Amino acid sequence: MNVTSDWFIAPRVRRLQRLVHLLPQRPPGISSSQLVTTLRPQIDSPPGEIPKLVQILARLGLLHVDSERFHLSRKGRRAATLSEDRARRELAELLIQSGLLHEQVRQIIQASSIDHEGMARSRVGQLRRAAPQLLGLLRAWPNVVGPSFVRIPPKLFQVIDTPWSLTPPPGEKEGTKERVGHRAEVYSFYLLRLESNCPTSVVWVSRDDQGLGYDIEDRSAGQVRRIEVKGSQGRDVRFLLTANEYDVARQDPSTYEVHFWGEISLNRTPEVEFNTLRERGFPLRFEDLAAHLADRRLHARPTRYLVTRGPENRADT
């Protein structure tokens, strides 16, 4: 789905909510041409936006498409019966957990401090810059967004802090390798937060800087743990290290580890898959990667070489 998180400005979210109440609840439904001619004026949508709104409602499971005609799904019919405030919260929750705002979800997770009761707190100003559309969705819940601070109750934060909220829908130009790798990183980021006494110390650094040679930092202990995450659709341990990752792993080996997630299937939802893979023993963890390579518990072989002309053969400049 070719839509980014900044697409979800407040007027569009209101149009989504209004469209749920206007769509037919049962077959034969309404045609795409009728959507434009009949419903567009009622939701005050600009020309060309209706197909995108319909696509998103289908992605959220609220809309059923049958032979080019549209009507509400069972979930959609339920949402259409809710009060306006409850319907707004329902839609906001579905959007958050759909992965459509995955980057803003990451920002709010990393920006929040969590108290012993599970309440997450962050500054409004910071989220207005880093996650403005998600901040707008959180206004659906009373007393969450204040003048200066956002206070997210534990139950609501559990809705936000999930692997499926962090996993984007398939991109038009994103290949299988990229999708598998992203899922693996999501799973490790979520797992490390679950395991940590200080979840805010776990930072997904590669999303902001891909040149570090690893994906995640765990800053909860005295020494920063640096975690490189690898994903595969197979079970056998097989992954590629870049030259930079290999060098970084050897510079301070005691703090560098690899997480390997195997048997990733893009046909499963992240919600189902994370628990499935955990039951199967993933991730495999290789702490001190350099030691594993040195004693041959893991075997590495070069797959390519960089060839340049020697200095003595270069023409003077």
pLDDT (0 to 100) of residue 233:
97
Q: Could you tell me whether strands 256-261 and 225-231 are parallel, antiparallel, or unpaired per DSSP bridges? A: parallel
DSSP-based three-state secondary structure for 128: helix
How far is the CA of 149 from the CAs of 96, 145, 169, 255, in angstroms?
20, 6, 30, 35
Compute the distance between CA of residue 199 and CA of residue 191 in angstroms, rounded to an integer: 10
Domains delineated in the chain: 5-81 (1.10.10.10), 92-162 (no CATH), 176-294 (no CATH)
pLDDT computed for residue 196 by the predictor: 92
What pLDDT does residue 220 have? 87
In which residue ranges of the chain is pLDDT below 70? 1, 172-173, 312-317
Q: What stretches of 217-284 show up as alpha helix (H) in DSSP?
A: 243-251, 270-279
Q: What is the pLDDT of residue 67?
A: 76
pLDDT recorded at residue 65: 86
pLDDT of residue 310: 76
Question: How many Cα neighbours within 13 Å face the side chain of 311?
Answer: 0
Contact 75, 94 (CB under 8 A): no
* Burial of 132 from C-beta contacts in 10 A (0-12 / 13-18 / 19+): middle
pLDDT at 33: 87
**Spatial separation of the C-alpha atoms in residues 131 and 8, rounded to whole Å:** 11
Asked whether the beta carbons of 235 and 263 are under 8 A apart, the reply is: yes
